Amino acid sequence: MKSWVFPLSLAGVFFLFVGGLILFFNFDESLSNDTYRSGSSVNKIKKGNSSDERSLEDSFITSKVDKVENEPSALFNDPAINQAWGLKKADAARAWTLTKGSREVIVAVIDTGLDVNHEDIKGNVWKNPGETGKDSFGRDKSSNRVDDDQNGFTDDVNGWNFVSQNGNLADNHGHGTHIAGIIGAEANNNKGIVGIAPEVSIMVLKYFDPQSPGSDNLKNTIKSIHYAIDKGAHIINYSGGGLEYSQEEKEAVDLARKKGILFVAAAGNERANSDKIPYYPADYGLDNIISVTAFNPSQEVLSSSNWGVLSVDIAAPGQNILSTLPGGAYGFMTGTSQATAFVTGAAALVMSHKTGFKYNDVKKYILASGDALPSLADKTKTSRKLNLYKALIVLDEDLTASGVRAVNDSQVKILSSKQEQSRTSIQSTAQFGKSLIEALEKENQKEPLKGRIGNKPEL
Ligand SMILES: [Ca+2]
Ligand SMILES: [Ca+2]
Ligand SMILES: [Ca+2]
């Protein structure tokens, strides 16, 4: 080789790399929230009383708008879908070609309440069948001031407000509405955004209200968990927590486990190693809990987020996430709260794709099918970030035979939902589950990540 060939090709590689970087940053720049600042009132709300035993993490609304810009998408007609960098990084569009979720899947969001009339989410709010329809006097059960289903809560048609002890779920903070939108904002309605599971039922359990600083957030959390168990939730999203261990709370999460409920919890925004300083309920060590940390568009864990190779399961998008806000608005928030909602949405998709899956199956698939990243090797147990599409596609038997490689291949054939249903209905969960996990493990062993020994997903 001539002596000038090598430096020249090196320069070529360099320019290609720089070009790629510029493209990448332009791409993500288009997703920045600057477009949303004009005409918006920036609404910063501090978390509750610092002495509260359970609270939202430091979650702020960084900007807020009444309307989102129209950016047509190929898949759905929701105007802001292209603003959602997290959906792209989590491979959501391909996931939605397989399933958009199901209203049969009930997700309990234990948070600050919800704007249940929000234009982009009202269709996905859970309705308590025991408080719906007419009573024997012809009155609407949802407002007849009778506890029609005799569960101890009167007119709890969409959930319960444990702060004010009533069925008024109004969100005085914004956090709960933001989380619910990430999980299940409606798709294809020409409005706003798209949730990870655009078809889902969101049960609203309000444990925290900034307007009631004296209320007992931990007790309200525990009551909310019991409500979710009693009313048949499949998944609980808890985007909050605290440093205090509570035996009673742990027992509530354990009871949820015994009832087959998956509990997705924020790793916390304490800038701490959760292996050393546990954060609860994420760190009770129960196998129905998925602890989630947050990463940014460069796929680095946020400096504010908790991490831990023993305690934190997986990472998901959590910086400048666009979602719904009270009053029919939209806005951006950052934190492991938002990342948690991504994983909850993924779990809802997996459960609707494979009815009959137990919480542990869902957890396995979500953790095992994430994308391994060196930047996550010293941050999470699995070294992985959420990949919605892979969490679903790994369930399809013909791909298990060829292993993970097929999943990574852009040529992967996407089955129509009908084909997909007929294929998957004839196979046993145990069979394809086992072969797939083995395939994933094999693949993992081929690509050891630096800084970790035996970086297998925790299965
Ligand atoms: Ca009731
Ligand atoms: Ca009633
Ligand atoms: Ca929408």
How does pLDDT run across 14-36, given as a tens digit for each residue?
A: 444 433 333 333 323 232 332 22
Q: How far is CA 10 from CA 17, 20, 79, 227, 296, in A?
A: 11, 15, 43, 62, 30
Instruction: Measure 190 CA to ligand 3 centroid, in angstroms.
Output: 6
What is the structure's pLDDT at 72?
41
From 52, 78, 111, 371, active-site residue = 111
Confidence check: pLDDT of 436 > 80: no
Report if residue 7 sits inside a domain: no
CB 204 within 8 A of CB 127: no
From 55, 323, 337, 369, active-site residue = 337
Q: Do 241 and 264 share a domain, yes or no?
A: yes
Instruction: Measure 233 CA to ligand 2 centroid, in angstroms.
Output: 20
Q: Do 248 and 156 share a domain, yes or no?
A: yes
Nearest in space to 60 (alpha carbons), one of 345, 344, 340, 337: 337
Report if residue 1 sits inside a domain: no
Rounded to an integer, what distance in angstroms lies between the CA atom of residue 55 and that of residue 267?
A: 13
pTM of the entire predicted model: 0.76
Residue 111 designated active-site: yes
CB 366 within 8 A of CB 350: yes
Instruction: Measure 26 CA to ligand 1 centroid, in angstroms.
Output: 51
Report if residue 9 sits inside a domain: no
Which residues constitute the domain of residue 47? 40-389
Q: Do 90 and 168 share a domain, yes or no?
A: yes
Q: Do 345 and 324 share a domain, yes or no?
A: yes
Instruction: Measure 358 CA to ligand 2 centroid, in angstroms.
Output: 32
Phi, psi of 395, deg, nearest 5: -80, -10
pLDDT digits (tens, 9 = 90+) for 51-65: 468 777 666 666 676
Report if residue 107 sits inside a domain: yes
What is the structure's pLDDT at 203?
98
**Number of the ligand closest to the Cα of 140:** 2
Q: Which of 355, 389, 423 is the last residue of a domain?
A: 389
Q: Which of 347, 362, 389 is the last residue of a domain?
A: 389
Q: Do 133 and 191 share a domain, yes or no?
A: yes
**Number of the ligand closest to the Cα of 158:** 1
**Number of the ligand closest to the Cα of 156:** 1
From 118, 175, 178, 234, active-site residue = 175
Q: Do 444 and 384 share a domain, yes or no?
A: no
Instruction: Measure 379 CA to ligand 3 centroid, in angstroms.
Output: 33
Task: Mean pLDDT check: name the lowest of 29-38, 308-317, 326-335.
Answer: 29-38
Residue 337 designated active-site: yes
Report if residue 26 sits inside a domain: no
Report if residue 74 sits inside a domain: yes
Report if residue 4 sits inside a domain: no
Instruction: Measure 135 CA to ligand 2 centroid, in angstroms.
Output: 8
**Number of the ligand closest to the Cα of 149:** 1
CATH of the domain at 60: 3.40.50.200
Residue 41 designated active-site: no
Which has more confidence, 428 or 77? 77
What is the structure's pLDDT at 176?
97
Q: Do 231 and 322 share a domain, yes or no?
A: yes
Q: Do 91 and 215 share a domain, yes or no?
A: yes
Report if residue 258 sits inside a domain: yes
Instruction: Measure 79 CA to ligand 3 centroid, in angstroms.
Output: 8
Q: Which two tokens stand for residue 458?
A: 């925790």
Confidence check: pLDDT of 290 > 50: yes
Rounded to an integer, what distance in angstroms lies between the CA atom of residue 194 and that of residue 294?
A: 20
**Domains of the chain: total:** 2
Q: Do 93 and 187 share a domain, yes or no?
A: yes
pLDDT digits (tens, 9 = 90+) for 141-182: 999 999 999 999 999 999 999 999 999 999 999 999 999 999
**Number of the ligand closest to the Cα of 139:** 2
Q: Do 336 and 408 share a domain, yes or no?
A: no
**Number of the ligand closest to the Cα of 130:** 1
Instruction: Measure 188 CA to ligand 3 centroid, in angstroms.
Output: 6
Q: Do 331 and 440 share a domain, yes or no?
A: no
Q: Do 80 and 214 share a domain, yes or no?
A: yes
Using a CB cutoff of 5 Å, list residues around ligand 1, an ion: 147, 149, 151, 153, 156
Instruction: Measure 170 CA to ligand 2 centroid, in angstroms.
Output: 18
Q: What is the mean pLDDT of the chain?
A: 78
What is the structure's pLDDT at 195?
96
Instruction: Measure 150 CA to ligand 1 centroid, in angstroms.
Output: 5
Confidence check: pLDDT of 230 > 60: yes
